[in-house]
Structure 1
Amino acid sequence: MAQNKNNNNQQYLTRYPLESIGESLYSTKEGIQQVIQKSDPNVKGKNVIWTTDYTHELPVVMKKDGLGSTPPKTIPQIFKQNAEQFGNLKALSVKIKGQWQSINYREYYEQAQTFAKGLISLGIQKQRAVNIIGFNHPCWNVAFMGSIFGQYMPVGVYTTNGPEACQYVAENSDAEVIVVENRTHLAKYLQVWDQLPLLKYVIVYNDILPSDLPVERKGQVLDWNQLLEKGRMFRATTQEDNIEYRQENVTPGQCCTLVYTSGTTGNPKGVMLSHDNYTWTAQAIINQYDLSSSKGNHRLVSFLPLSHVVAQVLDIVGSMISCIHVYFADSTALQGSLVNYLQEIRPTVFFSVPRVWEKIQEKMLALASSNGIVKQKIGNWAKSIGVQGTQAEFKGEKLPTGFGIAKKIVYDNIKKAIGLDQAKYVIVGAAPLSPSIRQYFLSLNIYIINGYGMSESSGPQQLSNPVDFEVLDEEAAKSCGKNIEGTDILIANPDIHGEGEICFKGRNRFMGYYKNEKATMETIDEQGYLHSGDLGKLDKNGNLYITGRLKELIITAGGENVAPVLIEDEIKDQLKFISNVMVVGDQKKYLACLLTFKHELSPEGQLIPNKILPEALNHIKALGSSASTIDQAKQCPIIRKAIEEGIAKANERAISKAQRVQKWVLIDGDFTVDGGHLTPTMKLKRKVVTQMYTPQIESMYIEAKL
């Protein structure tokens, strides 16, 4: 990790390196002076690299040419311009009692202003945080934008957070206002309100207020319409309280939001992102995929948590910049209703996480197995030329014989069936997508753009492009693509294989961690590079391959470093009925792993005990097993033999003997967010899982102790 040396200014919350960065320019001279006045007057003329105080402003570091040289802009500045020029275009739509209700960009902008004025009328201190918790809804976007308009700090909170986690974010972010979707989330804050001395109001946006509110909270809990009415009635008596004045006095280098990390190894950290971080990054994505050429013609389905950085940069900021029409799915989207929304809306842009594609593939394979012999042969023929044809199509090269017919009778019908027949771009992120799944959809003429990034990079850092590499190459299919234009990437301390820590910098790099100087100094070095903690390598064309994570490295008893993620993915590719794999073996003589079966979920998203997912059951039946429950499958010799063979095949791809898995154990249940095994972004909490299943893990090493 990065370690800043010559730390003479450690008492200050804003870091100044000793030497300037030669290629850098700055947005405004006034911006630099303002930051200097707020910190150390003796560092005049130095470049400002990071800060841990969201009331501070950082100058925008610009390139001399290209996308990195574009003039920085603020969110209110762009929104106002688009509301004036494209105000009649539809902005946000949500289903209410089975009917779509919409507002256009002018109404969206005005509602955000009204929300901001409502907060000003309540006496909320400028630059205080506004926490927002709830499923995706127009009110979520309005609260986010309105907070920014009023120079407040919007902070998304995961709906899976319990009262203690909600309290931590509210306390750490200095929240004076909480916006909640319903009474369920309201109850979390009522439970911890006494421990939040700064908290003044809670606003409920999609539910009626409970009749049994504590007496001391009546008047502090408002419904959405009450707040907006206060905003409509508000008249500023000072310039500072004028909403237009506040919007105009925002600068690109100021913090616009805090995004809290998933917290795989401890409490989540508040990632400070500036206006330029978000507007520049969103514009970079828009430019790369030409999403601004036809304002008003793009549609997007919003269903991933808006507390996540990618959902914010796409569903909120990017959609506003390109005037994309955003449709909101309901809270059952990830439990099965998403495809219904896709079929109805037919989005032109679709972003999802790997689990969504896994579910789609499982259902498609189950459907294919039930087709007649003729349909199966046609489908297999179409898939046999799909990969080559899709690549040729993107490159503008000659198409293989029969590709046009396959497109008409197979590919187009499949895309229409899953609602993606009009999707120009399909993007996956937040976690690695299995190369085999990516290749499967490529064979069906669906190119999934693979990305790499993190909260600290304002979302994406790398994005793949079908013309950048040969998709027929199995290794190339694992690539995350090239860094977005205007950013720099390097591999620090590479080994003989070219693998090392992924480091990058650019206008997408975050400002720092709020109130956390130590973590910020460990992450950003004096040249401005962010040290990601991820391991990777670059090929000769600049495509990035993720190989592991520094904090997740397993160091065997023999001293060899092993990155578990690639091994886990390989095992899951071999065993289609397995949901999760966790490789263990730190300070042990060999590797072992925990396995979980794919469980069927209830409509509420809860695991149904002992019930195998139907798609997984099809794979089990194909093995010749009659097992129909989890308990039966765990004891079935056919399945256990299949697991042995699958792990053996995965081991054949290991680059060394130390990276082969020698033992395994099936555990009850599955890894879930509610169970504490996974973060809200589906990242594995390895230390937590290790503690939960210590007896099972130790049982795989009993012989090694004798």
Structure 2
Amino acid sequence: MAATLDTRFLDDLAPSLGVMLQRRIARTPDLEAFRFLSGGKWVSRTWREAGVEIAEAAAGLLALGMKPEDRVAIISSTRYEWIVADLGIMCAGGATTTVYPTTAADDAAYILDDAGCRFAIVEDAEQLAKARSAAHPALEHVIVMDAAAAGSDEVSSFNELCERGRAYLDEHPDAVTDATAAIEPDALATLIYTSGTTGRPKGVRLTHRSWVYEGEALKALGFLFDDDVNFLWLPMSHSFGKVILSTQLAVGFASAIDGRVDKIIDNLAVVKPTFMGAAPRIFEKAYGKIVSTIQAEGGVKQKLFDKAFGVGVEVDRRRAAGEKVSPALAVQHRVFDKLVFHKIRERFGGRVRFFISGSAPLNREIAEWFHAAGILIVEGYGLTETAAGAFCGRPVDNRFGTVGRALPGSEVRLGDDGEVHVRGPHIMEGYHNLPEVTAETFTDDGWLRTGDRGTLDGDGFLTVTGRLKDLIKTSGGKIVPPAVVEASFKAICPYVSQFLVFGDARPYCVALITLDPDGIAAWASEHENLAVLDYAELVSSPEVTELVAGYIAELNERLNPWETIKRWSLLDADLSIEGGELTPSMKVRRGLVEQAQRERIDALYA
């Protein structure tokens, strides 16, 4: 039986994120808080130093006339200034309104208008144009992180904001402290607009209580420490990134920040973090890259690799079952650790204690593959509406295939249809300007409907089986959870990028597939007649069709008859955020893809 999670932390929650920051600075003023690139070199800020910059940003906003709960939009990629701006807004009593930098101009304008933002802090000229397209008369002033785009009465640079703050603090030294002290736990801290898979984004109203609880609850799980180093690339406009920040305030670890997704692996080798949060696609891509590279080399190296993972998985299985690992097997494991697993760990910096996977399901086989190499991935689960975290696995009692147990101090139950219901201090106040939609999202007795189907074991560990609205019911009446089938294929095929299963009200299941452009290009480079082909030409070639067909056959052997993929089609371009098929948190907009590919899907049933 799993241990009961300690809830004593609930007795001393800070009233706001501003007070939470003050407590952190008082406890560990000289510990490193943040690390970021400046002029191509990594530089650091201690908690004391960061606190000064945050106070200056907060005072600058107060000098501009910001009032309690005034909304301030941030439109920027993940960078140090994002953190300073966000914490400055909340120390001054405002409410951060997050906008992804990839958001289209009309959607960005809609968010600023719907939120009624008085101020906006943007990254560069491109994002400045989006802020200026907002029609709401409330928007008074825009601050630009990159100074070159500033230069008018209504637009100033971030440095100018901080200079204004320093001058304001000279005249009103207690201004920020007083503003922070006035914030109540139920005051609005953040408006996060869900990227959504259809329709206009909805503004999720999250209070200071929600974020403070999240940070302290994750700290209470006991696996994070103030000497940890987190690599932070996650979009801060997403709740996953925000909950890492609130947890950092609670625990005191350092975060190295660089939002460039294409630089993650390079940065890990330099930063050498002890943990990192990421979406499953990051782990799937790393897994696919390693496996496909070894397969391309073949020969003795591939045999050694396969044997190593066979031994690693068996050792893990025996340990999990409480069985003895024989001396001979232990020796083999040590040898393979030096020859194979050590090299894989070095790709991620060599110091990772664990990764946290969230925002979508991670295939169990991929998690077990990483663990065999000595890299633990724990899963978390939640929604924007739960301030990101609602469940989280822990290294001490992790169970692969589950997302752990509900955070201490919160509750979970399953509805009649298996829907996961949650309640606790982390639950949203509601959707901004949408009272009817808010009411529909809660049960009559006050539980949040997550929209996800799941199962709970006897120890409270949750297994999420997919979105209720995405469940496929074939014309034969069989239920298929597409997310489970899709994740299984990603564990089998190292070249896949996206795998989407369809079949609702149809006689059988079909799939649309995209391949990872880098992965399939590397595979093609080993074949003389394919090496010169571009992606679209590759996926239409007989050789790639045969390659994928083999993996589909392997997948079907694992599935129930009604779940098998009878027909499938390779798309001639990968799905992307820029193309609108993926949300900024890398979730597929299934409905949009289905609509855009309707003719192709229909042809699979012809």
- The verdict on a shared fold, with TM-score over 0.5 as the criterion, is yes
Indicate whether 1:226 and 2:160 are aligned.
yes
Within 5 Å, which residues of 2 pair with 1:450-599?
Answer: 450-465=379-394, 468=397, 477-494=400-417, 500-599=418-517
Q: Distance in 2 between the 1:544 and 1:205 partners? A: 42
Correspondence for 1:60: none
Within 5 Å, which residues of 2 pair with 1:120-269?
Answer: 120-190=62-132, 192-193=133-134, 195-209=135-149, 218-234=152-168, 242-269=175-202
Indicate whether 1:72 and 2:13 are aligned.
yes
Q: Shift of residue 149 of structure 1? A: 0.9
Indicate whether 1:104 and 2:46 are aligned.
yes
Correspondence for 1:27: none
Change (3 A) 1:93 1:140: same
* Contact in 2 for aligned 1:391/1:466 (Cα 8 Å): no
Q: Deviations over 1:209-268 (max 9, x none)?
A: 267xxxxxx2100001111111111169999x9322211121223221122212112211
Q: Shift of residue 142 of structure 1? A: 0.9
Match of 1:324 among 238, 242, 253: 253
Change (3 A) 1:392 1:106: farther
Q: Shift of residue 398 of structure 1? A: 5.8
Q: Distance in 1 between the 2:337 and 2:276 partners? A: 20
Q: Shift of residue 124 of structure 1? A: 2.6
Correspondence for 2:568: 664
Q: Shift of residue 639 of structure 1? A: 3.7
Q: Shift of residue 280 of structure 1? A: 1.6
Change (3 A) 1:385 1:660: closer
Indicate whether 1:301 and 2:231 are aligned.
yes
Q: Shift of residue 345 of structure 1? A: 1.1
Q: Deviations over 1:600-651 (max 9, x none)?
A: 4xxxxxxxxxxx6434547x969x9889544444444444344444334433
Q: Deviations over 1:553-590 (max 9, x none)?
A: 33433444433222222334443333222222333333
Q: Shift of residue 343 of structure 1? A: 1.0
Correspondence for 1:422: 351
Name which of structure 1's ranges 259-268 and 299-308 shifts more when overlaid on structure 2. 259-268
Correspondence for 2:267: 341
Correspondence for 2:598: 694
Change (3 A) 1:442 1:621: farther
Change (3 A) 1:328 1:65: closer
Q: Distance in 1 between the 2:36 and 2:156 partners? A: 22
* Contact in 2 for aligned 1:394/1:467 (Cα 8 Å): no
Q: Distance in 2 between the 1:373 and 1:553 partners? A: 42
Change (3 A) 1:386 1:188: same
Correspondence for 2:280: 354
Q: Distance in 1 between the 2:44 and 2:280 partners? A: 30
* Contact in 1 for aligned 2:455/2:463 (Cα 8 Å): yes
Change (3 A) 1:423 1:391: farther
Change (3 A) 1:312 1:397: farther
* Contact in 2 for aligned 1:429/1:451 (Cα 8 Å): yes
Q: Distance in 2 between the 1:407 and 1:225 partners? A: 49
Q: Deviations over 1:638-696 (max 9, x none)?
A: 44344444334433443452x33322222221211111111111222122112211221
* Contact in 2 for aligned 1:625/1:639 (Cα 8 Å): no
Q: Distance in 2 between the 1:440 and 1:509 partners? A: 34
Within 5 Å, which residues of 2 pair with 1:9-158?
Answer: 66-67=7-8, 69-73=10-14, 74-158=16-100
* Contact in 2 for aligned 1:183/1:207 (Cα 8 Å): no
* Contact in 2 for aligned 1:130/1:176 (Cα 8 Å): yes
SS at match of 2:138: coil
User: TM-score, normalising length from structure 2?
Assistant: 0.91
Q: Deviations over 1:96-116 (max 9, x none)?
A: 122222221112122222211
Correspondence for 2:545: 640
* Contact in 2 for aligned 1:67/1:284 (Cα 8 Å): no
Indicate whether 1:678 and 2:582 are aligned.
yes
Q: Distance in 2 between the 1:163 and 1:632 partners? A: 33
SS at match of 1:258: strand
Name which of structure 1's ranges 177-186 and 369-378 shifts more when overlaid on structure 2. 369-378
* Contact in 1 for aligned 2:503/2:510 (Cα 8 Å): yes
Q: Deviations over 1:442-495 (max 9, x none)?
A: 2211111122211112212222345546xxxxxx6322222222222222114x
Q: Distance in 1 between the 2:586 and 2:171 partners? A: 48
* Contact in 2 for aligned 1:77/1:248 (Cα 8 Å): yes
Correspondence for 1:22: none
Q: Distance in 2 between the 1:334 and 1:237 partners? A: 42
Change (3 A) 1:414 1:512: same
Q: Shift of residue 370 of structure 1? A: 6.1
* Contact in 2 for aligned 1:119/1:231 (Cα 8 Å): yes
* Contact in 1 for aligned 2:112/2:131 (Cα 8 Å): no
SS at match of 1:263: coil
Q: Distance in 2 between the 1:661 and 1:99 partners? A: 49
Q: Distance in 2 between the 1:371 and 1:654 partners? A: 30
Q: What is the identity, as a one-letter code, of the residue corresponding to 2:568?
A: W
* Contact in 2 for aligned 1:132/1:178 (Cα 8 Å): yes
* Contact in 1 for aligned 2:352/2:375 (Cα 8 Å): no
Larger Rg over CA atoms: 1
Q: Distance in 2 between the 1:64 and 1:289 partners? A: 10
Q: Shift of residue 206 of structure 1? A: 2.8
SS at match of 1:208: helix
Q: What is the identity, as a one-letter code, of the residue corresponding to 1:410?
A: V
Match of 2:212 among 250, 266, 279: 279
Change (3 A) 1:85 1:649: closer
- % identical equivalent positions: 28
SS at match of 1:130: strand
Runs (4+) of structure 1 exceeding 6 A deviation are 236-239, 391-397, 624-627
Change (3 A) 1:661 1:364: closer
* Contact in 2 for aligned 1:513/1:519 (Cα 8 Å): yes
Q: Distance in 1 between the 2:579 and 2:5 partners? A: 49
Q: Distance in 2 between the 1:135 and 1:412 partners? A: 33
Structure 1: runs of 5+ lacking an equivalent: 1-62, 212-217, 470-475, 495-499, 601-611
Change (3 A) 1:72 1:252: farther
Correspondence for 1:13: none
Name which of structure 1's ranges 387-396 and 579-588 shifts more when overlaid on structure 2. 387-396
Change (3 A) 1:614 1:67: farther
Q: Distance in 2 between the 1:479 and 1:674 partners? A: 31
Q: Distance in 2 between the 1:124 and 1:542 partners? A: 44
Q: Shift of residue 132 of structure 1? A: 0.7
Change (3 A) 1:440 1:614: farther
Q: What is the identity, as a one-letter code, of the residue corresponding to 1:321?
A: A
